[in-house]
Amino acid sequence: MIGQKLTHVLLKKGYGVSHLSRSKDAKGVRSYHWDLSNGYCDPEAFKETSVVVHLAGAGVADKRWTSKRRKEILDSRVNSTQLLFESIKNSGKVDTFISASAIGYYGFGKPDKIFAESDEPGTDFLAGVTQHWEEEVKKFTTLGIREVRLRTGVVLSDEGGALPKLAQPIKWGVGSPLGSGKQMMSWIHIDDLIGMFVQAIEQTDMHGAYNAVSPNPVSNKEMTKAIAKILKRPLILPAVPGFALKLILGEMSEIILNGSSVSAEKIISKNFNFKFKNLESALADIYKKE
C-alpha cells in the first residue's frame, strides 16, 4: 500500500523509480529481482540508484503469532536489511537509505508516557523486532550513507492497513471500542506518511529516527466514535472485552489492547507540514466519497 502510493508520488515529481521484486510484475516501473530466501539481489539494481527506501516486512497483524510466524516477522525485516547492506556496499552510488520502522519500538504498558525518539526501546516482542531492524539500518552509516528511520504509527487509508478492519464492524452496525477503549492510538493519514518519506529523501539534514505520527493521538474509544460519526453509523454494543480478543488472537491481541502516545515534535522541528493534524479531518478526507 505505502510502496505503490510512494511510487506514484515520486514519479509525478519527476523521479526515476525502480522496484526490488520477487516476481516479474513491476507495475509500470523497472523491476530488479531479489530473493531473500536465497540471499540474492540483482547486482544491477543499484548502479543508477542514489536513494533506497526499504518497506519490506511480513505483516505483523496478518496471522496469529506462532513460533514460525514470529521468526518470519523478525527475519523478513532483519535479513532483508542485511541483504540490502551487502548488495549496496560495493555500488558506490547509493547515498541515502530510508527505512520504515514502527512505534512498536517503544513497547506498551505506559499509558501516561509520551514517547520521543530518544527513549529506550520496550521489552516485548514487537519492540525487540523493531530494535533489531533498526540496528541493521544504522550500519549504513559505516558506508558513509545517510540513514533515516520512520517509526510509523497506525496508518489511516481506505486502501488497506488498520482502518478498513476497524471500520467494517461499524459499517455492519456492530462496532464498539476494543478492550477498555482507553488505549491510545498514535495515527497518521497516509498522505502525510508519504510526505514524510519524500521529505526524508529531499531534506539531507534528516538523520536517524523520526516518529511518523500526527500530533494528536486519540484513544481507541475516540477513534471508534469518530469512524462511526463520519460513516453515520450508530454504536450500540458494549466494548469487546479484552479476554475475548486474547482468546481469538493470542499474543497478537497486545497490538489492539495496548497502545502508546508518541510525540511528533521532532519531525515538526524539521518543518514538516501536516495536511491532517486532527482525526476528524483525516477521516473526512478518506471517506469523502461515501
Q: Which domains does the chain have, with CATH numbers?
A: 2-156+186-215+261-276 (3.40.50.720)
Mean pLDDT of the 56-66 span: 81
Does residue 26 carry a pLDDT above 70?
no
Does residue 258 carry a pLDDT above 60?
yes
Instruction: Measure Cα distances from 112 to 109, 182, 260 in Å.
Output: 9, 11, 9
Give φ, ψ of 32 to 5 degrees.
Answer: -120, 140
Instruction: Tell me the C-alpha distance between 47 and 78, whole Å.
Output: 23
Does residue 249 carry a pLDDT above 60?
no
Better pLDDT: 244 or 119: 119
Mean pLDDT of the 2-14 span: 95
245 in Cβ contact with 253 (< 8 Å) = yes
Give the chain's length. Answer: 290
Band of pLDDT at residue 2, cut at 50, 70 and 90: very high
pLDDT at residue 251, as a whole number: 59
Better pLDDT: 241 or 230: 230
pLDDT at residue 267, as a whole number: 98
Mean pLDDT of the 279-285 span: 96
Band of pLDDT at residue 170, cut at 50, 70 and 90: confident
Spatial CA neighbour of 79 closest among 43, 112, 37, 119: 37
Q: What is the DSSP string of the chain?
A: -HHHHHHHHHHHTT---EEEESSS--TTSEEEEEEGGGTEE-TTTTTT-SEEEE-----TTSS---HHHHHHHHHHHHHHHHHHHHHHTTTS---EEEEEEEGGGG-S--TT-EE-TTSPP-SSHHHHHHHHHHHHHHGGGGGT-EEEEEEE-EEE-TTSSHHHHHHHHHHTT----BTTS-SEE-EEEHHHHHHHHHHHHH-TT--EEEEES-S--EEHHHHHHHHHHHHT----SPPBPHHHHHHHHGGGGHHHH---EE--HHHHHTT---S--SHHHHHHHHTTT-
Mean pLDDT of the 32-59 span: 92
Mean pLDDT of the 1-14 span: 95
pLDDT at residue 234, as a whole number: 86
Instruction: Tell me the C-alpha distance between 7 and 247, whole Å.
Output: 39
Strand partners, 101: 151
| Residue percentage of the chain with pLDDT more than 90 | 63
Say which range, 36-40, 79-83, 195-199, 273-277, has the weakest mean pLDDT. Answer: 36-40
Better pLDDT: 168 or 275: 275
Instruction: Tell me the C-alpha distance between 273 and 263, whole Å.
Output: 15
**CA atoms 167, 287, 55, 268: torsion sign:** negative
The chain-wide mean pLDDT, for the chain, equals: 89
